[in-house]
């Protein structure tokens, strides 16, 4: 099942224009949006920043990922829900090369990936919940979905929600909240820079944060 035109429409106004860390975006949004801690960068240095393109995959089958790479728009981050998918390698070097060639923004997969050494060489940002060598099938009749809402952990993810991922993990911010979160993130970074300057000058965190002694 492919998404409707409305579900696939570009997320106007939600494309990030400034980069912030995942932790900063999470805090600035009111401590929301942290995806399950099991979802980690597949290799050192991977970072993701862009609008979500949700994908629903059947267990042990990656045909819908091939379809997603073909259908998604440049800059889109593929965000993939599987069920009991940790013991399959849904994504590897070939799909990373294909996604990079199409200009996609990255992959967030609640499931396994493989070819990790090659993934780092390709440089396409990949986040996953496991590393697994087990291969997948490609059943043309297996149910799946492109562009429609999915769930990762406690979070519903819709087309165009903003995805921020780095070494600390991955955060999803609803697209309609991104402008305010972007502003709050900027203010938070400025405030933290001032606090760090005071700490380096000898100030105590107990005093700076008015914490009880």
Domain ranges for the chain, please list them: 19-174
CA distances, 166 to each of 48, 52, 100, 106 (Å)? 7, 15, 18, 11
pLDDT value, residue 15:
65
pLDDT digits (tens, 9 = 90+) for 98-127: 999 999 999 999 999 999 999 999 999 999
pLDDT digits (tens, 9 = 90+) for 188-211: 999 999 999 999 999 999 999 999
CATH 3.40.50.720 is held by the domain 19-174: no
This prediction's pTM: 0.91
pLDDT digits (tens, 9 = 90+) for 138-164: 999 999 999 999 999 999 999 999 999
pLDDT digits (tens, 9 = 90+) for 9-63: 444 445 667 789 999 999 999 999 999 999 999 999 999 999 999 999 999 999 9
Residue position matching structure tokens 């379809």: 67
Distance CA 148, CA 56 (A): 8
CA distances, 126 to each of 7, 26, 148, 170, 206 (Å)? 23, 20, 21, 11, 39
47 burial (CB, 10 Å; 0-12 / 13-18 / 19+) is middle
């Amino acid at each position: 099942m492919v998404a409707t035109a409305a579900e696939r429409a570009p997320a106007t106004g939600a494309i990030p224009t400034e980069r912030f860390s995942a932790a900063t975006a999470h805090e600035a949004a009111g401590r929301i949006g942290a995806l399950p801690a099991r979802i980690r960068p597949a290799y050192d240095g991977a970072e993701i920043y862009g609008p979500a393109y949700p994908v629903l995959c059947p267990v042990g089958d990656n045909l819908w990922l091939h379809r997603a790479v073909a259908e998604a728009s440049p800059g889109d981050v593929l965000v993939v829900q599987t069920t009991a998918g940790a013991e399959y390698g849904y994504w590897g070097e070939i799909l990373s090369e294909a996604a990079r060639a199409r200009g996609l923004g990255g992959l967030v997969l609640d499931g396994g990936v493989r070819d990790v050494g090659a993934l780092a060489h390709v440089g396409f940002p990949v986040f996953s919940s496991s590393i697994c060598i087990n291969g997948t099938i490609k059943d043309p009749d297996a149910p799946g979905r492109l562009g429609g809402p999915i769930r990762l952990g406690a979070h519903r993810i819709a087309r165009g929600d903003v995805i921020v991922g780095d070494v600390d993990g991955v955060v999803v911010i609803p697209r309609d909240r991104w402008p305010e979160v972007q502003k709050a993130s900027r203010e938070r970074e400025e405030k933290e820079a001032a606090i760090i300057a005071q700490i380096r000058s000898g100030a105590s965190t107990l005093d700076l944060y008015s914490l009880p002694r």
